[in-house]
Amino acid sequence: EAGVAQSPRYKIIEKRQSVAFWCNPISGHATLYWYQQILGQGPKLLIQFQNNGVVDDSQLPKDRFSAERLKGVDSTLKIQPAKLEDSAVYLCASSSGTSTYNEQFFGPGTRLTVL
C-alpha cells in the first residue's frame, strides 16, 4: 500500500514570495491534515479536512495561508506572501476517520526555507 506522498521535498524562496505544497493521501482515507513543524518543536496542526470539508482550521494563519482539498483526495497548502518565520517542515497526514482509533499516517514532509 502506497503511503502519503508530498511534493516538493525541499523549497527555498525569498520572503514575500508565494509557495505551494501538494499532498496525496493514502487511497480511501477521508481525513487529511497539514502540520507545521518548526525546528526544535513538535508538529502543530494547521488544518484538518474531512473529505473536502474543513473540520478544524483554528491554527491556520488565514491572512497568508490557504488550503484546499478539491474532490476530497489531493490537497494543496499555499503561503502568500511568505515570511521568514514560515521556515519549517510542512507535514501532511491522512487517516481513515476522525476517531482516536484511526491512526494518522504521515508523509515525508516538505522542508521550506524562507530567505
Partner 1 sequence: AQSVTQLDSQVPVFEEAPVELRCNYSSSVSVYLFWYVQYPNQGLQLLLKYLSGSTLVKGINGFEAEFNKSQTSFHLRKPSVHISDTAEYFCAGSTGGGNKLTFGTGTQLKVEL
| Residues whose CB is less than 8 angstroms from the CB of residue 64 and which lie 6 or more positions away in sequence, other chains included | 79, 80, 81, 82, 83, 86
Residue 89 corresponds to which cell in the numbers above?
A: 517542515
Q: In the window 49-108, what residues touch partner 1 (CB under 8 A)? A: 56, 91, 93, 95, 97-104, 106-108
- Residue 41 or 70 with smaller CB distance to partner 1: 41
Task: List the one residue from 1, 27, 41, 53 that touches partner 1 (CB under 8 A).
Answer: 41
For the chain, state the CA radius of gyration.
Answer: 13
User: Considering only residues 13, 20, 26, 45, which one is a binding residue for partner 1 as defined by CB under 8 A?
Assistant: 45
Q: Which listed residue (32, 36, 43, 77) binds partner 1 by CB under 8 A?
A: 43
- Compute the Cα dihedral for 36, 69, 13, 81 and give only its sign: negative
Query: Which of 21-29, 40-48, 66-74, 79-87 is the region at the interface with partner 1 (rule: CB under 8 A)?
Result: 40-48
Indicate the residue among 78 and 111 with the shorter CB distance to partner 1. Answer: 111
C-alpha cell at 98: 476522525
Secondary structure (H, E, C), 9-30: CEEEECCCCCEEEEEECCCCCC
* Footprint on this chain of partner 1 (rule: CB under 8 A): 4, 31, 40-45, 48, 56, 91, 93, 95, 97-104, 106-109
